[in-house]
Structure 1
Amino acid sequence: MGRWEPNARGRLATAALELYSERGYEQTTVAEIAKRAGLTERTFFNHYADKREVLFATAGEFQDRFVGAVAGALKSVAPIDALAAGLDAIAEMLADQRDFVRTRQAVIMSNPELQERDLIKLASTSSALADTLRRHGVPEPDASLAAETGVALFKVGFHRWIAADEERELSLLMREALDALKAVTAGS
């Protein structure tokens, strides 16, 4: 190993994503990721539990931002508008990461195990959103329905945002999805 360089975690994530894209997720080993990053396997495991976690390392932050923004907004706005505030918080979190996220999502979509993990993370976010809504007085089944709707709005906007020919901002695409939902439910 050469001299110490900062941002080991970021270097590992970049190396992993490059290798997953080049060779495939299943064919890439932790040793190869560490070597590409110029680090040791031990350093890899100091930052990530396994090679899947490289792809899902920000899931906790994603959930915390989404739920936190919704909780904060519920003090002064209707639940649907609070969900919009949560979507805006997520859009802000991802704003400068479009290329990384596009590549990451391509890796996830090429592997059923990773797709399942992605869905589990989104289900966890939906559950946390529903809990937050209930704590703020939204009854069931409304809280669960609203939470699932918030996650669905995210998914629709997100998948449009990562499309190869899409250049518009994520916040705009999620707002468009919300406006379309409002139009459909209003009978327009």
Structure 2
Amino acid sequence: MPRSGAEARRRLREAALELYREQGFDKTTAAEIAARAGVNERTFFRHFPDKREVLFDGEADLCATLMRTIAETPQGLETFEILLHAFRQSAGQLENNRAFGEPRWEIIWVTPALRERELAKHASLIDAVAEALRQRGIADRVADLAARTGWAAYQHAVRIWMADPARSLDTQLCEAFDDLRALSAVTPSTSASSEP
């Protein structure tokens, strides 16, 4: 039996991943996860409200890190620099958790209900990032657009890093934001600017 809450949580996450890969998410129960982890079902529900949330463990920590870092980033930086700084601060959490992250994404990809849940979680994180930007005095419209665009660049970098971990997530993030800045610096053509 696991002696600490953190150990029980880790074992529950590992057991859930094993079972989801073996028999699929839909066919796996919380009771089976608990049994595989060597704990009772009540312990499972003490750590996770349902079997989906096992796959989203760490989202609250990511949100807290992003919001805190955005708030603490020195004044005078442009909006994308603030976001890049925050995403780089959170990169370590993902890199340290790669063994969980890779199979997690595989399971989510093949399970429509989990993809929907992931989109909802991302929307919540985007809202939190936009709110943190607003708290720094960035206008609503700009904060919302920057949060959505920055999150897209962040997800892009994570996908590339997951496919090829030879280069660090930090490097991928910097490149994604360089590309984003290059895209936003393109001058629109005359025909595009004259459209209604």
TM-score range, shorter chain: over 0.9
Match of 2:146 in 1: 146
Q: Map 1:35-74; keep pairs closer than 5 Å.
A: 35-73=35-73
Q: CA 1:102/1:4 → structure 2, altered by over 3 Å: closer, same or farther? A: closer
The secondary structure found in structure 1 opposite 2:96 is coil
Counterpart of 2:175? 176
1:78 maps to which residue? 78
Letter in 2 for 1:162: M
Shift in CA distance, 81/42, structure 1 to aligned 2, threshold 3 Å: same
Structure 1's unaligned 5+ residue stretches are none
Aligned mates of 2:75, 2:53 — CA distance in 1:
34
Distance (Å, rounded) in 1 between the aligned partners of 2:52 and 2:147: 26
If the length of structure 2 is used for normalisation, what is the TM-score? 0.89
Over alpha carbons, which structure has the higher Rg?
2
- Residue 140 of structure 2 aligns to a residue in which SS? coil
Q: Tell me if the contact between 1:74 and 1:136 (Cα under 8 Å) persists in the aligned partners.
A: no
**SS at structure 2 position matched to 1:153:** helix
Give the Cα–Cα distance (whole angstroms) in 2 for the partners of residues 23 and 89 of structure 1.
Answer: 36
Q: CA deviation at 1:44?
A: 0.6
> How far 1:76 sits from its partner (Å)?
4.1
SS at match of 2:125: helix
SS in 2 for 1:150: helix
Q: Which amino acid aligns with 2:109?
A: M
Conserved 8 A contact 1:71-1:82: no
Identity %: 39
In structure 2, runs of 5+ residues without a counterpart are: 188-196
C-alpha separation in 2, matches of 1:102 and 1:183: 30
Distance 2:185 2:76 in 1: 23
Q: CA deviation at 1:166?
A: 3.5
- Whether the 8 Å contact between 2:2 and 2:38 is mirrored in structure 1 is no
Q: Which amino acid aligns with 2:103?
A: T
Task: Give secondary structure in 2 for the equivalent of 1:95.
Answer: helix
Q: TM-score, normalised by structure 1?
A: 0.92
Structure 1 residue ranges (4+ consecutive) displaced by more than 2 angstroms after TM superposition: 3-6
Q: CA RMSD in A?
A: 1.5
Separation of aligned partners in 1, 2:90 and 2:60: 12
Q: Deviations for 1:97-126, whole angstroms, at most 9, x for unmatched residues?
A: 222101111111111111111111111111
Aligned partner of residue 137 in structure 1, secondary structure: coil
* 3-state DSSP of counterpart to 2:118: helix
The one-letter code of the counterpart of 2:176 is A
- Report the count of equivalent residues: 185
Distance change >3 Å, CA 24–CA 81, structure 1 → 2: same
1:167 matched residue in structure 2: 166
Task: Name the amino acid aligned to 1:28.
Answer: T
Q: How is 1:87-166 mapped onto 2 (pairs within 5 angstroms)?
A: 87-163=87-163, 165-166=164-165
SS of the residue corresponding to residue 28 of structure 1 reads: coil
For 2:166, give the aligned amino acid: E
